[in-house]
Amino acid sequence: MTTDTPASVKMEAIVSLAKRRGFIFPSSEIYGGFGSTWDYGPVGVELKRNVKDAWWRSMVRQRDDIVGLDAAILMSPSVWETSGHVASFSDPLVDCLSCKQRFREDELQQDACPTCGSSEGFTSARQFNLMFKTHVGPVEDEGALAYLRPETAQGIFVNFGNVLTATRRRLPFGIAQQGKAFRNEITPGNFIFRTREFEQMEIEFFVHPDTAAEWYTRWIEIREQWYVDLGLRAENLRRRVHPQEELSHYSAGTTDLEYRFPQGWAELEGIANRTDFDLKAHAEASGQRLSYFDQESGQHVVPYVIEPSAGADRALLAFLVDAYTVEPDENGNDRVVLKFHPRLAPYKVGVLPLSRKQPLVEMARNVWSRVRSHWATQYDDSQSIGRRYRRQDELGTPCCVTVDFDSLDDHAVTIRDRDDQAQERVRVEDLVDALRMRLEC
Ligand code: ATP
């Protein structure tokens, strides 16, 4: 068996499959594309939704100490002044003296230009602020300036008081949010790994300062386990503790969860101890009290914050790469199969009638409607059954249900398993239960 491991999976193979099967398309493609922006197609949108839903389910619904929020992308510019983003959310930008191409200085690994190979050198670094600016309202002056948020976290901090009052939470508790963030990255690339518009899944977990170190460790474990539970192979995940000199201005400790992407090990998610930096800064700048009244000690406490900050697109890429497998099919030919965890698989069941003739079609449609009310499905009646299996393998569909001519007599259908290609005959009336056993693990 020639099973590809993620290290040997080429990004080109992923990009090509993603386009061919409707996961991800280059944005504005008919106009030649638009630098490092991508659109999720019919399959990709299901996958992304599943990634976000799995996160929401584990982090919000299944916990009793986290509530959700959905703040606006456009916020008062004061938020970004106070948070430090206006002054220091920047990367060091250098230009190649020969070809003028721009790079992030901290990403250059050699003296020669990675684009033209010239050794002429680079300009000295200048700080490039990554926030996108826009103007709100009909007048384009400084007074109407606004930023597209570069992280979702600040929407949580500025709503801390609202959530506390509305929910009467006690420490420790968290606020979770998913949503778009925008960064004018100097060097986007590696498919959806680094883009200028992306989606984050962030939790701000507020704790008593004395327990921050303990919660920081706990959150690293919880978040790592989340990926493993959803099928990421543990050997493709590792932790990287940021050295002191690398820490952001607000952080007392940051650990990245890194994944072995096709381009190498790189950050999948960051877990930071943000201390009381943000709440204190916003309290001071806004004049509002952003603290918690601790009944036991009778004192107001400004909580510390542990922040697990993940990217939905980056997580999706990791799941896609990790699921990508090339192995022999029933006939010894190569088949590409995406071995997604059933919870993440874009479609759970493919319904495949063996023929387009009546009365088989009517029965197949009947079977389909039984299954469709439970899971995301695909009905596929074109080309040979072998081809249809291959197609569903490439979509990562865990179960195919084949309706054949015997089905008309025995009222049974065949379930074909994506991973071991084993087939099982089940009665139509038992089908939903049989699928549930396989899908809801
Ligand atoms: P880097 O150092 O790689 O630029 P970062 O440390 O600034 O990233 P964070 O601010 O910690 O990233 O963002 C939290 C998460 O958001 C990241 O772990 C990643 O999953 C996601 N993310 C950040 N920037 C991007 C981007 N440009 N494209 C896609 N996802 C991103």
Q: What is the pLDDT of residues 51-70, one digit of tens each?
A: 999 999 999 999 999 999 99
The pLDDT of residue 1: 37
Q: Rounded to whole angstroms, how far apart are CA atoms 227 and 316?
A: 11
Is residue 248 a contact partner of residue 89, using CB atoms and an 8 Å limit?
no
pLDDT at 5 over 70: no
Buried b (16+ CB within 10 A) or exposed e, 77-112: bebbebbebbeebebbbbbbebeeeebeeeebeeee
Mean pLDDT of the residues in the chain: 94
Over residues 261-274, the mean pLDDT reads: 97
pLDDT at residue 421 greater than cutoff 60: yes
pLDDT at 139: 82
At 169, the amino acid letter reads R
Give the model's pLDDT for residue 2.
42
Q: How far is the CA of 18 from the centre of ligand 1 (A)?
A: 22
What's the CA gap between 280 and 294, in Å, rounded?
A: 17
CB-CB contact of 92 with 127 (8 Å): yes
Ligand 1 atom having least distance to the Cα of 314: 20
Residue of 267, 268, 273 to mutate, ligand 1, most atoms within 8 A of C-beta: 267
pLDDT at 333: 87
- Ligand 1 pocket test: which of 83, 91, 200 has the largest number of ligand atoms within 8 Å of its C-beta? 200
Residue 4: what pLDDT?
A: 52
The predicted-structure confidence for 205-220, as pLDDT tens digits, reads as follows 999 999 999 999 999 9
Task: Kindly give the number of the ligand 1 atom that is closest to the alpha carbon of 256.
Answer: 18
Going by alpha carbons, the residue nearest to atom 18 of ligand 1 is 269
Residue nearest to atom 10 of ligand 1 (CA): 151
Q: Tell me the average pLDDT across 227-247.
A: 96
pLDDT value for 331: 81
pLDDT of residue 109: 83
Q: Which atom of ligand 1 is nearest to the CA of 91?
A: 4
> pLDDT at residue 221 above 90?
yes
The residues near 222 (Cβ < 8 Å, ≥ 6 apart) are 308
Half-sphere exposure of 129 (CA within 13 A, CB side): 13
* Interval 140-194: pLDDT, tens: 887 789 999 999 999 999 999 999 999 999 999 999 999 999 999 999 999 999 9
Stretch 75-97: mean pLDDT: 94
Is the pLDDT reported for residue 3 higher than 80?
A: no
| CA distances to 44, 197, 231, 353 from 314, in Å | 13, 12, 15, 36
Instruction: Give the model's pLDDT for residue 261.
Output: 97
Work out the average pLDDT over 247-273: 94
pLDDT at 87 over 70: yes
**Cα 311 to middle of ligand 1, angstroms:** 7
Write the pLDDT tens digit of every residue in 96-132: 999 999 999 988 888 899 999 999 999 999 999 999 9
Pocket of ligand 1 (CB under 6 A): 151, 183, 185, 194-195, 198, 200, 267-270, 309-311, 313-314
Query: Which residue do the tokens 């978040």 mark?
Result: 223
Q: Whose CA is nearest to atom 12 of ligand 1?
A: 270
- Please choose from 309, 313, 317, 320 the residue to mutate so as to test ligand 1's pocket, defined by most ligand atoms within 8 A of CB: 309
